[in-house]
Amino acid sequence: MGKATFSLLSILLLARHGQSLFISDGIQNVHQPSFLQLNRPSSSSDTCEQTYGFLPCTTTILGNLFLMLAYGYLMLRAAICLSTGSELLLNILGSGVIGGFLLPVLGAFPDALLILVSGLSGSKETAQNQVSIGMGLLAGSTVMLLTWLWGSCVVTGKCDLSEDSIALDSQDSKWCSLIGSGVTTDSPTSYAARIMLISVIPFFIVQLQAVFKSSSGKRIAILVSLVVSIAFLLSYCLYQVFQTWIQERSRKYAKLKLVMSGIIRSVQKDPLGWPLIKNGKPNTPVLEKIFQRIDQDSNEYISPAELRALIVGIDFHGINLNADDAVMIVMRDFDTSHDNKIRKLANDFTEIATGEYALLTAKSDDVLENVENVPLVWFQAASLLLLGTVIAAVFADPLIDAVENFSSATSIPSFFVSFIAMPLATNSSEAVSAIIFARRKKETTTSLTFSEIYGSATMNNTLCLAVFLALVYFRNLTWDFSAEVLVILIVCIVMGLFASFRTTYQLWTCFVAFLFYPLSLALVYVLDYCFGWS
């Protein structure tokens, strides 16, 4: 992370001192080419206010787009640091009070912080304008999780369905059969969906403010919804403490990511530094070299002993890997010829080398059982959490300003800009991980993936909503988000009910999920800008 992040920081700081094509120093007004303004007339009075007095700012479209990408990338790095640090803590501490309270909050921290910043700074008028960015993030993050990410996991994880409508692990011969292929999850995944469904109750309550004509009645509805959302958040965390199955699933998901990233790092250590994937396809020459390095006796296959040597040589962030159990699981999953050998000519090794596999698909939880050098792992976890928190805290406000300035430059309402762009800054890493795990085409990894999606949506509906309602109530802001809340309710209820009472999702369901995303944006636009519904 270090070089990329610090290089980006250097660009942002150096941009302040130059008079580039689209970055202004906030003091001098440099004439901008008209095409950057989408044919809007340039005015010498156009200025922008630098965040913290020194970060770059601009009034142009491309300039603000660049800043959105830059600050969004930094927020993404913050989310990755927080996620990795919390996963290390979860592996150290296991299920308990810390895992039930602290770690779920850390997962939603970047979103909650951005929502807080959107309405915390500046005057009441400024907060009223910027808080729609927070609502855009809240709605966009939840809708993204339950629409295109949910649908993408169905597409990438689909397998052939049996006569009993059960997905057959690793069998995908029906290609685009809308009813003959799909994914199957376990019962606890349906429980996670039901919990998410219950968590939308505060949205119902806050919608009641439309019934009241007086401002005091509206504030009471907002306050009640705030109290209920906090109560739901505490109840959800307490439930995880005493019913540890949610924590255990999160722990398995964290271990899965840890092991996969470790082996990917290991196989990528090619002497020439060549990529494993070239033009979207496996880089066969590089894979041949890696195979030869693992195949120590050059007999054209990887034996259990050679595989064990590879696994033992990987540093899994201080986690002690039970190598014998890991070898048994990898052999069971990737030995397609069933002769206790992984052959070069099969797809087995290609799939392993490109990271498209899951080591922890066994029912046994003994593959990763101990933590060695606990102080070092504690230090790594604490450092990542601190670094992620600092980056998120420092760059949340500049990102909000960039979104607002981009909205002003393009005349696109800030809610829509935030709805589309902001979730990419905080959730893209988890989205990529979810899709990769779904591609393993195993019921176990698919179940963990969908459980994480429902858990993230639950935290949005409790913690992030509570932060937003607190802003509106304590800053006495005007509530005009009924259309946005309605969209969240519709998506959560439809997807929650669907996932609560069935465990197999046929391929056609992905198109329903995908369709909800543009429909959500269209519904908000129609209700707000055509009917004036607030």
Percent pLDDT > 90 in the chain is 33
- What is the pLDDT confidence band of residue 289, given thresholds at 50, 70 and 90? low
* Dist. CA 24–CA 202, nearest whole Å: 43
Q: For 180-212, how does the pLDDT look when each residue is reduced to its tens digit (9 = 90+)?
A: 999 999 888 999 999 999 999 999 999 988 888
What average pLDDT score do residues 12-16 get? 45
Q: For 48-84, how does the pLDDT look when each residue is reduced to its tens digit (9 = 90+)?
A: 777 877 888 888 999 999 999 999 999 988 888 887 8
Q: Which residue's entry shows tokens 């906030």?
A: 26
Determine the pLDDT at residue 285. 66
pLDDT exceeds cutoff 70 at 365: no
Q: For 172-182, how does the pLDDT look when each residue is reduced to its tens digit (9 = 90+)?
A: 888 788 899 99
Determine the pLDDT at residue 134. 92
pLDDT exceeds cutoff 60 at 36: no
Determine the pLDDT at residue 520. 94
Q: For 234-264, how does the pLDDT look when each residue is reduced to its tens digit (9 = 90+)?
A: 998 888 877 766 666 666 666 655 555 555 5
Tokens of 174: 């029906």
Tokens of 281: 């396809």
> What residues pair up with 343 in beta bridges, in sequence order?
301
DSSP 473: H
Q: For 516-530, how does the pLDDT look when each residue is reduced to its tens digit (9 = 90+)?
A: 999 999 999 999 888
Question: Is pLDDT larger for residue 383 or for residue 319?
Answer: 383
Scanning 175-244, the segments in alpha helix (DSSP H) are 187-198, 201-207, 215-242
Three-point CA angle 160, 162, 165, nearest 5°:
100
Q: Which residues contact 338 (CB under 8 A, 6 or more apart)?
A: none
pLDDT exceeds cutoff 80 at 373: no
* Dist. CA 277–CA 271, nearest whole Å: 16
Q: Which residues contact 511 (CB under 8 A, 6 or more apart)?
A: 151
Contact of 534 with 482, CB cutoff 8 Å = yes
Determine the pLDDT at residue 16. 45
Determine the pLDDT at residue 149. 94
What average pLDDT score do residues 20-31 get? 41
- What is the pLDDT confidence band of residue 440, given thresholds at 50, 70 and 90? confident
Contact of 479 with 472, CB cutoff 8 Å = yes
Contact of 310 with 359, CB cutoff 8 Å = no
Enclosing H/E stretch for 181: strand 181-184
End-to-end Cα distance, the chain: 43
- What is the pLDDT confidence band of residue 412, given thresholds at 50, 70 and 90? very high
315 burial via Cβ count (<10 Å: 0-12, 13-18, 19+): exposed
> What residues pair up with 181 in beta bridges, in sequence order?
160
pLDDT exceeds cutoff 60 at 274: no
* Cα 477 → chain centroid: 29
Q: Which residues contact 500 (CB under 8 A, 6 or more apart)?
A: 190, 193, 194, 197
What average pLDDT score do residues 20-41 get? 39
- What is the pLDDT confidence band of residue 367, given thresholds at 50, 70 and 90? very low
> Residue 524: which of 117, 143, 129 has the closest Cα?
143
* Dist. CA 262–CA 102, nearest whole Å: 25
* Full-model pTM: 0.72
* Cα 500 → chain centroid: 22
Determine the pLDDT at residue 150. 96
What average pLDDT score do residues 275-284 get? 52
Q: Which residues of 239-249 are buried (b: 16+ CB within 10 A; e: fewer)?
A: ebbeebebbbb
> What residues pair up with 376 in beta bridges, in sequence order?
none
